[in-house]
Amino acid sequence: MPKKRHANHDSWDPKAVTKKFKATRGTELDEVLVIGIDFGTTYSGVGWATAEDFGNDQINFITNWPDADLEEVKVPTTLVYKPDGTQSWGYQVPFEDKDRLSWFKLLLLRDEDVPREIKESEPLQRARQLLDKLGKTPVEVIADYLRNLWGHTLEIIAKARSSTLVDALKFHVVLTVPASWKNYARRAMKDAAKRAGITSDRPAGETVLSFAMEPEAATLATIWEKERHLKADDVYMICDAGGGTVDIITYKVGNLDPIELHEAAGGEAGICGGMFIDEKFRLICKARLGRHWFNLTLKGIGEIMHSQWEHGTKTIFSLKNDKKKYIISVPAEAFATKNDMNDQSREPKIIDGRIYFSVSDIQKAFDESFAKIGDLVSRQISKSAPYPVTAIILVGGLGSSPYLYEYLSKKYKGKPEVLQAGGTKPRSAICRGAVYKGFMDRLNGNPNGLSARAHMSVVSTIARLSLGVDYSERFIEGVHRNEDKYWGRLEGKWMARRQMLWYLKKGDVVMTAEPVKHNFYHIFEKDSHKKGMAMDLLQCELDNPPKRRDSSVTTMGQMSCQISHLVKDFDLYIAPTDEKCKRMNYEVEMVPSGASTVFAVYFKGKQLGTHECQLDLT
């Protein structure tokens, strides 16, 4: 951990935040609208704020959705392609629609990155089959969903603040992604966002699109809550329990003015969210109804799973009253005769077409997912040592579950304390945090010449994998492998290729304000510089990355540079063969920033522009 800087007071006064933020008013920040998008596996949400809103601690949420009966902070991540070429999305899509696409967010992941039980799950297989039938890729489907979500968002914001005002504001869009996602999935999301029109040209100027890890966004939202008074050295674990993934991240509070958060341990992530509890309950109902289950239409199953379970029993289930019965009404279509509507031969009993589930019956639906969440939390507590966790804060859709609160409270017996997000509301925490992240980035990154400094920021993180490049160096017998040995004609000595230089190693503490930079050189003979220069960017997920490039090292992307215009400034180099060559001495810098990593090339102290140096991630 970085050395702690002591503050002059013991706790953070949240009222000071808006007061200090208002001091930045009158700057170019006033011309920005930050929009946070929480694109989830099962539900999605959007939050937004102008600088004035943010200064008044007001984050706005989209709560009116097409065809929704009530105001909701989230909208289903569902999509249907109609025969006439139009699309239905969100609440417009009936549960019983046979062409209903869901879970398509998970299709961005490669097979090797999807656990076996998820690959074999019925909803994911159905989503894959529908995509094959439509002849569409996951990126195309996600782009279509985001286009609908984005269009509706702009419509709602324009109604709230007038289209004239919105047209005059520059957009900074923050899209949240699971912490466990690799670069290829994030790149695919960026592609989908562009296809959706999120970054389309606007009269006000270029739209900035950035990413935030879901647990980091959740942290910013919960730590920011006005009712919470922070103390230096407090350690907060955020358990973001969503529909698909459960992400856990832990931060230690450092300086208080401004508030600085240090990641205390590498985050944990598991695909064990609410949708797996839903699937387990579906199987419980199917097993109890037996042959009657197969008489149910998709609409009938929707009445059970969507109306009664997802928005009813699942949200209120608790162990406090172990005598309570949870009643699920089965649509009459399941039963051929009235006699079939009664079966008291075994538990749970079916009486007049209603299943009377006991607490222990319902508990079985949660057991497997909660056991996995408990394991994630326990590992995170162990990794956070020697910093004792002050509190575990639950956010996300599943984070509002009374039973999850009871489960973890019983498991840890008050040490650490288990809390549910209050002011932010668990289901909207990530949207809120995404908006905070947008403003924090603009203040900390100083993109518009602002002298202000964000009043809360994550200043250090734990590297989740190793990042580096390979290079050649002088061969040393006994140090390098013979298979890597080659004669360097221009150097005039034996060299060893495939050696690794790691910018970051998994588990390293990374100060977000401190880039990592290393020196390199390249010798060009004759006109070889005209081809430009390329460098592979490499990654490794092992706890101890290898010293040479082997099968555990994979390509994250490639950085290619056009350098012909710089040749006149290269050094003259005379090779041992008396050939006259050009030698380019340069630096490669890596700047880690939350959910993304930025690389840059410097020559003679000047950074090559994006038109000169292109970064293509795989």
Q: What is the pTM of this model?
A: 0.77
Beta carbons of 417 and 288 less than 8 angstroms apart? no
Going by pLDDT thresholds of 50, 70 and 90, the confidence category of residue 614 is low
Going by C-alpha positions, the residue among 69, 58, 72, 75 that lies closest to residue 150 is 75
pLDDT score for 525: 85
d(CA 426, CA 222): 9
CA atoms within 13 A on the CB side of 246: 26
Lowest-confidence range among 123-127, 179-183, 391-395? 179-183
543 φψ region: left (φ > 0), alpha (ψ -120 to 50), beta (else):
alpha
> How do the domains of the chain map onto residue ranges?
14-214, 274-365, 465-617
Say how far apart CA 242 and CA 427 lie, in whole Å: 8
Q: Answer whether residue 615 shows pLDDT above 70.
A: no
Which run of H or of E encompasses 524?
A: strand 516-525
583 contacts: CB under 8 Å, gap ≥ 6: 521, 522, 523, 524, 570, 571, 572, 573
Looking at the chain, the number of H-run helices and the number of E-run strands are 14, 29
* b/e sequence 404-435, b meaning 16+ C-beta within 10 Å: bbebbeeebeeebebbbbeebbbbbbbbbbbb
556 pLDDT exceeds 90?
no
Give mean pLDDT, residues 496-510.
91
| CA atoms of 174 and 195, how far apart (whole Å) | 16
Q: What pLDDT, on the 0 to 100 scale, is given for residue 27? A: 54
Q: How confident is the model at residue 113 (pLDDT cuts 50, 70, 90)?
A: confident
330-344, 374-388, 602-616 — which is least confidently predicted? 602-616
Residue 306: per-residue pLDDT? 87
Average pLDDT over residues 459-486: 92
What's residue 267's pLDDT? 82
* Biggest alpha carbon–alpha carbon distance for the chain: 100
Q: CA 42, CA 276: separation in Å to the nearest integer?
A: 11
Residue 602 has pLDDT above 70, yes or no: yes
CB-count burial class (<10 Å; 0-12, 13-18, 19+) for 94: middle
537 - beta bridge partners?
A: 557
Strands 516-525 and 580-593: antiparallel
Residue 161 has a CB neighbour count (10 Å cut-off) of 16
The pLDDT, as a whole number, for residue 343 is 94
**24 pLDDT more than 50:** no
Q: What is the pLDDT of residue 611?
A: 60
pLDDT at 2: 34
The whole-chain average pLDDT of the chain stands at 86
Q: With cut-offs at 50, 70 and 90, classify the pLDDT of residue 423.
A: low
Mean pLDDT over residues 567-580, rounded?
A: 92
CA distances from 352 to 296, 305, 327, 331, 332 (A): 16, 19, 11, 11, 10
Do 532 and 562 contact (CB within 8 A), yes or no?
yes
What are the distances in angstroms from CA 177 to CA 218, 431, 506? 12, 12, 20
188-215 tens-digit pLDDT = 999 999 999 999 999 888 999 999 888 8
Report which of 418, 326, 388, 428 is spatially closest to residue 40, judged by C-alpha positions.
428
pLDDT at residue 359, as a whole number: 97
**Per-residue pLDDT for 101 more than 50?**
yes
Paired tokens of 443: 């203040």
- Averaged pLDDT, 442-464: 63
Does the structure show a pLDDT above 70 at 23?
no
Q: Of 164-168, 255-259, 281-285, which range is least confident?
A: 255-259
Is the pLDDT reported for residue 610 higher than 70? Answer: no
Instruction: Find the mean pLDDT for residues 66-73.
Output: 91
Q: Which of the four pLDDT bands, split at 50, 70 and 90, describes residue 416?
A: very high
Hey, which residues does 249 pair with through a beta bridge?
238
What is the rounded average pLDDT of the residues 283-288? 96
Instruction: Report d(CA 585, CA 568) in Å as an integer.
Output: 13
Peptide bond into 2 cis (omega under 30): no
Written as six digits, the tokens of 572 are 């003259």
Q: What is the rounded end-to-end Cα distance, in angstroms, of the chain?
A: 32
User: Rounded to an integer, what is the distance from CA 328 to the centroid of its chain?
Assistant: 35
Burial of 461 (0-12, 13-18, 19+ CB in 10 A): buried
Distance CA 390, CA 374 (A): 17
Residues 6+ apart with CB under 8 A from 515: 589, 590, 591
CATH number, span 14-214: 3.30.420
Question: What pLDDT, in 10s, does the model give residues 43-54?
Answer: 999 999 998 898
CA within 13 Å, CB half, 331: 17
Report whether pLDDT(578) > 50: yes
**What is the phi/psi pair of residue 42, to 5°?**
-110, -35
Confirm if 188 and 129 have CB atoms less than 8 A apart. no
Exposure b/e, 544-571, CB count within 10 A at least 16 = b: ebeeebeeebeebbebbbbbeebeeebe
Output Rg (C-alpha) for the chain, integer angstroms. Answer: 27
**Mean pLDDT, residues 86-99:** 91
pLDDT at 258: 78
Q: How far is CA 141 from the centre of its chain?
A: 19
Q: Tell me: pLDDT of 17 over 60.
A: no
CB-CB contact of 406 with 394 (8 Å): no
Q: Which residue has the higher pLDDT, 24 or 568?
A: 568
Instruction: Say what the pLDDT of residue 300 is.
Output: 94
pLDDT of 16 over the 50 cut: no
Per-residue model confidence (pLDDT) at position 320: 92
Q: Is the pLDDT of residue 559 over 70?
A: yes
Least confident of 25-34, 87-96, 475-484, 551-560: 25-34
Structure tokens at 496: 């060893």
Question: Which is more confidently placed, 404 or 180?
Answer: 404
CB 327 within 8 A of CB 304: no
Those residues with Cβ within 8 angstroms of residue 231's Cβ, 6 or more apart along the chain or in another chain = 10, 11, 253
Query: Which of 149, 212, 216, 221 minimizes the C-alpha distance to 177?
Result: 212
Q: Which two tokens stand for residue 181?
A: 């996602």
Mean pLDDT in residue range 353-373: 96
The residue that leads in pLDDT, 421 or 280, is 280
Identify the pLDDT of residue 283. 94
- The encoded tokens of residue 450 equal 């602002």
Element (H, E) at 326: strand 326-329
User: Dihedral through CA 405, CA 406, CA 411, CA 414, nearest 10?
Assistant: 80
pLDDT for residue 527 is more than 90: no
pLDDT at 445: 57
Helical residues (DSSP H) of 23-99, grouped into ranges: 51-55
CA-CA distance, 407 to 543, in Å (whole number)? 31
**Three-state DSSP state, 579:** coil
